[in-house]
Amino acid sequence: MSELVCVMGVSAAGKTTVGTALARVLGVPFVDADALHPESNRAKMASGTPLTDEDRWPWLDAVGASLAAHRERGAVMACSALRRVYRDRIRAAAPGVVFVHLTGSRELLASRAAARTGHFMPPELLDSQLATLEPLEPDERGQQADVSLPVDDLIAAIVAGLRTVDSGSEF
């Protein structure tokens, strides 16, 4: 299966952990969209200031281009992709990308955010991200995945969902 998969969700949902494990199971490269942010975006977020759409457009273009560059072999990308318009922008560059939306309770996400060290995204921006989040819509190719599950169970559910997409039916 040479899927392009975008593991999406708010900060501390586990995008990097799940994305890395999923890429390993699928035998494809893992790319973290955080590494594609320009330094100005990283500095803005580190100061506790949410990004604007104008800040995000060049970054989203880089995310889409990176996924498109992996079209032949497939890849898993960790990217917040919080709004439909952001996912549409990524999808325009990488048609067929499957979005896996990592979901969890605010309490779980907040405890994970507070426990992280050395990450440029401060825990205080979690509520801003939750307010911005637009869940996947029925016409979007993708699935939700509950991050309260053990990682191995979560990966198994995601892989099963990807097989459903590959067979031509939605999940």
Of 13-17, 77-81, 165-169, highest mean pLDDT = 77-81
pLDDT single digits (tens) 129-148: 888 899 999 999 999 999 98
How far is 148 from 21, CA to CA, in rounded Å?
16
Rounded CA gap, 137 and 131, in Å? 16
Helices 53-69 and 84-93 pack at an angle, to 10 degrees, of: 40
What pLDDT does residue 129 have? 82
Answer whether 41's CB lies under 8 Å from 140's CB. Answer: no
- DSSP strands (E only) in 18-150: 30-32, 75-78, 98-103, 142-146
pLDDT at 118: 55
The fold adopted by the segment(s) 29-163 is Rossmann fold (3.40.50)
- How buried is 52 (Cβ within 10 angstroms: 0-12 exposed, 13-18 middle, 19+ buried)? exposed
What is d(CA 66, CA 33) in angstroms, rounded to the nearest whole number?
Answer: 9
pLDDT, tens digit, 9 for 90 and up, residues 44-61: 888 878 789 999 999 999
Which residue's entry shows tokens 């067979």? 167
Whether residue 152 is predicted with pLDDT greater than 90 in this model: the reply is: yes
Domain boundaries, the chain: 29-163
Task: Using the predicted structure, report yes or no on whether residue 167 has a pLDDT greater than 70.
Answer: no
Q: What is the pLDDT of residues 74-127, one digit of tens each?
A: 999 999 999 999 999 999 999 999 999 998 887 878 776 666 565 545 545 677
User: pTM for this structure?
Assistant: 0.86
pLDDT of residue 169: 39
Residue 171 has pLDDT above 80, yes or no: no
